[in-house]
Amino acid sequence: MSAAQWRRAMNSGAGRTAWSRPPSLPARPGPAGGAIATGTAAGPVQSIVGALRTIGVRHVAVLLVVLVYPWIATPFFIYQIGGQALVLGLIALSLTFLGGYGGMVSLAQMSIAGLAGYMVAIFGIAGEAQGGASSLGWPWWIAVPIGVAIATLFATFVGWLSVRTEGIYTIMITLAIGVSFYYLAQQNYSIFGGHQGFNQLHAPVVLDVDFGKPVPYYYLALFWALVGYFFIKYLLRAPFGVALQGTRENPRRMNALGFDVTAHRVAAYAVAGVLAAIGGVLLTWYNGRISPGTVGVGAMLNILIIAVLGGMRHPLGAFIGAILFVLVQNFAIDVIARERFNLVIGIVFLSIVLFSPDGLLGLWGYVRTRILAGGVQPKIRGWGVGSTRREPARMRNGGTAADR
């Protein structure tokens, strides 16, 4: 996949329609040479200025809220709600990227995260495990990169195995991989420590800052969540991300255009794997331990639930879904007779999916267009982010125009 091909994708009708133009305008392929020339001449400065110009009051407000949050919240809310939501959101973001933009719903993201966590336990410092498994006791700054690297390799392998399948078969094969990993961790005693896993995995203490404490942990999680969020935002506008969305919409056409669809998809799995792996390391520090239960089928499905709840049409959906998920998980038991709290969780999740197929983001979009704007605006306009499921027909038209 050459850079020139990516640029061509960027400048093709599909990419333009998806990203910069209102979908109602006809897409015209610009002359490729010209685009490259402007890109190289004033590219970086212009793009930074452009990016700054799009920052509005709301962005600053949200950033302030998440930064100030630890000062107003109790340790419980900082750690168990805030920290956990950010980390689960980061793992769900990897699924949003794969599923929402690549069209590949992988259930194995939690397994990838869990593998990274296990690697940190095995290479790093952890308490004695059952059945002879023991940690190598290496410092965290060696163990963490190794863990992320191995998990990314695993993610690439998962992608390589599953990219040739579509839809439900992708779900099936990634489910199978995830369940296999669960049983491997469950029954392997010499490396993974079996049923009990690893205990006493403390987050590192760097420059006298103990990242196991609520406030430092929160900021650590926030840092990586922001990195993940902006990285995905950037990637989706980059040629690679645009080409990936092209493969989601019409793999055969992308193939005909000269793109290696399989390579793009495997690369997407690898990218998502890095995010999930970082999330997995953070999650392991959050729990202070890891065992097969962390990567069980329930945990794998939770990631899907978070992504779907928030909405898979924008990277932000993963984090919004995670916030709701964590709140409901923690407080449902206070709402109703305590033996029946799963009913609340089920009803909340079911009603969101039932009334808004695009999750909370979709719900908000609905409120904006239908109620706040009096139902004048067309449904799609506010959501022309390029990830819309309702748009394929239009995108195909754009693509057709480009081909002509």
Partner 1 sequence: MRATRAGLLGSALGTALFAVAIAGSASAQETIKIGALSNLEGPFAVPGVDGHRGVELAVKQHNGMAGGKKIEIIKYSSDATPDKAVAATRKAVEQDKVNIMIGPLSGDEGIAVKNYSKTHPEMVFVNGSSGAQATTLQDPSPNFYRFNTEGAQWMVGLGDVALAKGYKKMFLIAEDYGFPYSQVQGFMASYCAKGGRVVKKAWVPLGTKDYSSVIAGIPPDVDALVVVLGGSDAVNFLNQAEQAGVDKPFIGGSITVDQTVLNYKGKKRESLLGTASAGPMADGIDTPAWKKFVADYKAAFPQGFPSPSLFAYLYYINTQAVLLGLDAVKGDLSDNQSKLKAALAKLEFDGPAGHIKLDENRNAIGDTYITEVAKAPDGGFYNKVTKVVNDVSQTLGLPKAEFTKMGLGSRDVPNCP
CA atoms within 13 A on the CB side of 198: 32
Q: Does 289 bind partner 1 (CB under 8 A)?
A: yes
Selection from 291, 205, 268, 227 nearest residue 87 by Cα: 227
C-beta atoms surrounding 67 within 10 Å: 11
* Member of 49, 65, 205, 336 binding partner 1 (CB under 8 A): 65
In the complex, the smallest distance separating the C-beta of residue 153 from partner 1, rounded to whole angstroms, is 25
Q: Summarize the chain as % helix, strand, coil (round to 5).
A: 75, 0, 25
Instruction: Please report, as a single letter, which amino acid is at residue 74.
Output: T
Instruction: Tell which phi-psi region holds residue 135, choosing left (phi > 0), alpha (psi between -120 and 50) or beta.
Output: beta
- State the binding string over 318-347 for partner 1 (x if CB under 8 A, else -): -xx--xx--x-xxx-x----xx-xx-----
Count of residues of this chain found to bind partner 1 when the rule CB under 8 A is applied: 70
DSSP strand pairing (205-206 vs 209-210): antiparallel
| 365 touches partner 1 by CB under 8 A | yes
Instruction: Report how far apart, in Å, the C-alpha atoms of 292 and of each of 115, 148, 180, 279 are.
Output: 10, 18, 11, 17
Residues in 7-46 at the binding interface with partner 1, rule: CB under 8 A: none
Query: What does the per-residue mask of binding to partner 1 show for 67-106, with x meaning CB under 8 A?
Result: --x--xxxxxx-xxxx-x----------------------
* 387 SS3 class: coil
Counting contacts by CB under 8 A, is residue 397 touching partner 1?
Answer: no
| Contact flag: residue 204 with partner 1 (CB under 8 A) | no
Helix (H, G, I), strand (E, B) or coil at 209: strand
Nearest to 91 by CA among 270, 274, 237: 274
In this chain, which of 124, 296, 398, 399 binds partner 1, going by CB under 8 A? Answer: 296
Cβ at position 218, least distance to partner 1 in Å = 12
Residue 210, strand partner residues:
205
Please tell me the distance from the alpha carbon of residue 60 to that of residue 48, in angstroms, as a whole number: 17
Residue among 164 and 368 whose Cβ is closer to partner 1: 368
375 binds partner 1 (CB under 8 A): no
Site string for partner 1, 233-272 (x = CB under 8 A): ----------------------------------------
Chain positions contacting partner 1, by CB under 8 A: 54, 56, 58-59, 61-62, 65-66, 69, 72-77, 79-82, 84, 127-128, 130-132, 183, 186-187, 189, 194-197, 199-200, 287-289, 291, 293-294, 296, 298, 313-314, 316-317, 319-320, 323-324, 327, 329-331, 333, 338-339, 341-342, 360-361, 364-365, 368, 381-385
